[in-house]
Amino acid sequence: MHPAPSHPVRGRHYRYYDLILAGFVTVLLCSNMIGPGKASFVTIAGFKVPFGAGNIFFPVSYVFGDVLTEVYGYARARKVIWAGFGAMAFMTLMSWVVIHLPVDPEVPYNAVIQPGLETVFGNTPRIVLASMIAFWAGDFANSLVLAKMKLRTQGKWLWTRTIGSTIVGQGVDSALFYPIAFAALWPTSNLLAVIASAWAFKVAVEVVMTPVTYAVVGFLKRAENEDFFDTDTTFTPFSLKD
């Protein structure tokens, strides 16, 4: 038995919504700020499979996005996506300012820290642009697909929409990020291979995290007394209305 479609009550306070928002933004910033600084690899059946370290944790932001849309609805998830986008924009601005501030030659440690800052946080404008566009489009695609699938399934089979929305959202993310960032710099065959492997890896993380998603969604629905169905939602991303 599933709750009837519901809509957020104006001014209603949710106990855990702000915590989920904070978790989403934290994972998003850390995976984009710390992860890109290191390339790693795993060996599968004797083959070396390279990947960016940030790819391990970035898919967790999609788990947060699934939870937000499933419990609180597309409109409230939309606010969180815009919060994440704003946080990424500020991180980018702060990184640029810190890197380009004059280095005090009387502080010996600066000779060590400045090259490190430039290596980790000095991404080219092209990569920064690619990251922000891919995040924005991918997360909105993920939230939209999940909300629409929830209506189609009448709230049943949560796993189909968490995995299905991630397939679409992460597909959009990977298909945008790598060409915008590296087209004409990488051979086309390598670019396509990295897109496919990154997409598959991120979807695999979502599949592995499905039991956790079920547990968190179930807890929040009970604790918040909310199970939102987007029956009358306007699905434009360009709004902050409930």
Prediction pTM value:
0.89
Measured between its terminal Cα atoms, the distance across the chain in Å is 26
pLDDT tens figures, 129-176:
999 999 999 999 999 999 999 999 999 999 999 999 999 999 999 999
On whether residue 242 sits in a domain, the answer given is no
Rounded CA-CA distance 55/59 in Å is 7
On whether residue 7 sits in a domain, the answer given is no
How many distinct structural domains can be found in the chain? 1
On whether residue 53 sits in a domain, the answer given is yes
**Which alpha helices (DSSP H) does the chain contain, by range?**
17-33, 58-72, 74-100, 110-121, 125-153, 158-182, 188-208, 210-224
On whether residue 55 sits in a domain, the answer given is yes
Distance from chain centroid for Cα 230: 21
On whether residue 2 sits in a domain, the answer given is no
On whether residue 69 sits in a domain, the answer given is yes
pLDDT tens figures, 23-51:
999 999 988 887 666 767 888 888 887 77
Domain range enclosing 40:
17-224
Rounded CA-CA distance 24/82 in Å is 11
On whether residue 59 sits in a domain, the answer given is yes
